[in-house]
Structure 1
Amino acid sequence: MEVVDPIRIFPRLTVFPCQDQPFHYELKMIATGGDQRYTFGSSSFDLVTVLNPTEGILEITAGDKPRQGAVNGFMTRFPPNRDNATIAIVPAASLSIPPHVAEAVVGTQLVIPVAMFGVSPTKGKESVPFHSCQGVPLASKVSDSRSFEVVSTQEVAPLSPDSKDGAQQTSLGCRGVAVEMRSPGFSSLEVAYLPSTKASLNAETTIAAFEPLQLLHKGDVILAVGSSYQLHFVGGPRPWPKNPSNHYKHVNGSSDALRVVRVQNAESGDVHSFHVEILCSRVTLGNDEAAKEIPTFVDVRVGNYPSPSLPYPAEAELRIPIVCAAPADVTLIPLTTRPELEP
């Protein structure tokens, strides 16, 4: 005789939005317990089509009317060991933009999550998120159309930045809006759901684009002991407009052979361009006696500290090799203070 755990199938309740035009959503059910061999089915034929009964892959047909049905999963060898889950189609009641990554490098796309909610058919008046909302009409617009462009409102919602490797990753919403970052700046992004029978639901967020952090100096940086040099950087995330005091520029030398004297913005006052003065204090050598000078590094990090309006800030990093060396020879160049006399 074999004793097994009762079967449980998940998700227990899956909700999709009512919409003017029929739309087919795909849903995968998960089962636990039993002997790990399951069969899925449903008698709600107008709502649920079982595409793969052993893998739990379903097709849900959503239309303009609220509906509710059941999915059952059972142990293939012993059908009485079974469980049921609920599938429902309900009207959209609210829309929001969950906390998300809001900054991206120029030339890339940023996908903003959109979450929509309905009223639970099984839990009183409790608000429940839609599993997917790809079929509903969404309108999106940016306030700065020169620097930003909405390229798609049909993206899969991004995963939460809090999701960790090896753990179950959580989607931030039921839909994603992709925005192309054309040039540096800030913009508001408004997303609205415009059903034909109700007042519109909308939400707004702020997004930012920034140039990559880069050093303007070309070529190697080699300094004599005791000498200093100014490194000129541009780019990186800009001060967040809702909390500009949270912006930082962290600069560190990788060893005591290199000292960071000062970090200051460009004379023009442009906070996106800054200078770092470094001082070479001693020669950096390898471990063996025959080793030559080896580079030490200047590590630069630019970004904003997390805040309620920017919970997942971007950070730009750059590592610059610097060689502190003793001069191998000295060359004297005469300084002519007056024109040479005619013979």
Structure 2
Amino acid sequence: MLGEVWIICNDIHNSLIFNSKLLIQVLPIDTLEILPSIVETHIGGEVLLPIAVLGFKDGKKFYFDDCSQVNFDVDIVEKNRIRYNADTFMPGTGQNSCRSLSFECIASGNSRVTISYNHSGSEDRKIFTHAIIGCYKPLKMIHPVEDQIVILSLGAAIDLAFEGGPRPWSMYPEGHYTKGKFA
């Protein structure tokens, strides 16, 4: 039920022990946000999307402290790349997050995830937000091969080769770079 309540706590045995008023508000959900987080991992890894649920009252924005009872609908475009762990309940991670949703990478590539809430079962009151999750093959050294010992003389060099690792984002390929100078 929507509304608000003031709670005042005091010790019935000692009236000097009390706490000031606490306001608890129950507001309708107006907006969903996915907060900034790491949205890519290796195959078999987990991505946690921190969800913020907001309500508005008197023109002021309020972040929900607890949204554990909210039923979100999760839609994944490429279901063969990412699996939603619906059975795993994760508390919010970070500031303003009331809950985190867990996704497991099962194949290499990117996929769009839509998280929605259908207010009062009405399609015209559907609230949603999107994220892109990236999955990549684990970074693996291919030259020199694993367990091979390489001995170099002073001033010598060797080329290293890797495969796997994070891939360029399709929406932001110029943000992908490699670093390579080793001393």
CA separation of 1:228/1:87 partners in 2, compared to 1, >3 Å: closer, same or farther?
Answer: closer
1:206 aligns with 2:132: yes
Q: Is the 8 A contact 1:112 1:157 kept in 2?
A: no
CA separation of 1:80/1:179 partners in 2, compared to 1, >3 Å: closer, same or farther?
Answer: closer
- CA distance in 1: counterparts of 2:180 and 2:29, whole angstroms: 49
Deviation at 1:191, TM superposition (A): 0.2
Counterpart in the other structure of 1:69:
5
Equivalent runs, 1:134-145 vs 2, <5 Å: 134-145=68-79
Counterpart in the other structure of 1:100:
37
Deviation at 1:242, TM superposition (A): 2.1
Which of 92, 105, 122 aligns to 1:157? It is 92
- CA distance in 2: counterparts of 1:183 and 1:222, whole angstroms: 37
Deviation at 1:158, TM superposition (A): 2.1
Deviation at 1:151, TM superposition (A): 1.4
Which has the bigger relative contact order, CA under 8 A and spacing at least 6?
A: 2
Deviation at 1:80, TM superposition (A): 7.3
Partner letter of residue 178 of structure 2? K
CA separation of 1:182/1:197 partners in 2, compared to 1, >3 Å: closer, same or farther?
Answer: closer
SS in 1 for 2:104: strand
Post-superposition CA distance 1:170-202 (Å, at most 9, x none): 3x4112211111122111110010233541110
SS in 1 for 2:75: strand
- CA distance in 2: counterparts of 1:227 and 1:88, whole angstroms: 68
CA separation of 1:197/1:127 partners in 2, compared to 1, >3 Å: closer, same or farther?
Answer: farther
Structure number with greater Rg is 1
Deviation at 1:133, TM superposition (A): 1.0
Q: Give runs of ≥4 in structure 1 deviating > 4 Å.
A: 74-78, 224-228
Counterpart in the other structure of 2:182:
253
Deviation at 1:227, TM superposition (A): 5.5
Equivalent runs, 1:178-217 vs 2, <5 Å: 178-198=102-122, 199-216=125-142, 217=145
Deviation at 1:126, TM superposition (A): 1.1
Deviation at 1:79, TM superposition (A): 3.1
- CA distance in 2: counterparts of 1:104 and 1:113, whole angstroms: 15
- CA distance in 2: counterparts of 1:175 and 1:82, whole angstroms: 28
Deviation at 1:224, TM superposition (A): 4.8
Deviation at 1:145, TM superposition (A): 0.9
Counterpart in the other structure of 2:99:
175
- Richer in helix (by share): 2
Deviation at 1:81, TM superposition (A): 5.6
Q: How many pairs does the alignment contain?
A: 176
TM-score with structure 2 length normalisation? 0.84
Unpaired segments ≥5 residues, structure 2: none
CA separation of 1:137/1:246 partners in 2, compared to 1, >3 Å: closer, same or farther?
Answer: same
Unpaired segments ≥5 residues, structure 1: 1-64, 160-169, 255-343
Identity %: 22
CA separation of 1:253/1:71 partners in 2, compared to 1, >3 Å: closer, same or farther?
Answer: same
- CA distance in 1: counterparts of 2:156 and 2:32, whole angstroms: 59
Partner letter of residue 158 of structure 1? T
- Richer in strand (by share): 1
TM-score with structure 1 length normalisation? 0.47
- CA distance in 2: counterparts of 1:242 and 1:149, whole angstroms: 22
Deviation at 1:252, TM superposition (A): 2.6
Counterpart in the other structure of 1:109:
46
CA separation of 1:228/1:79 partners in 2, compared to 1, >3 Å: closer, same or farther?
Answer: closer
Partner letter of residue 5 of structure 2? G
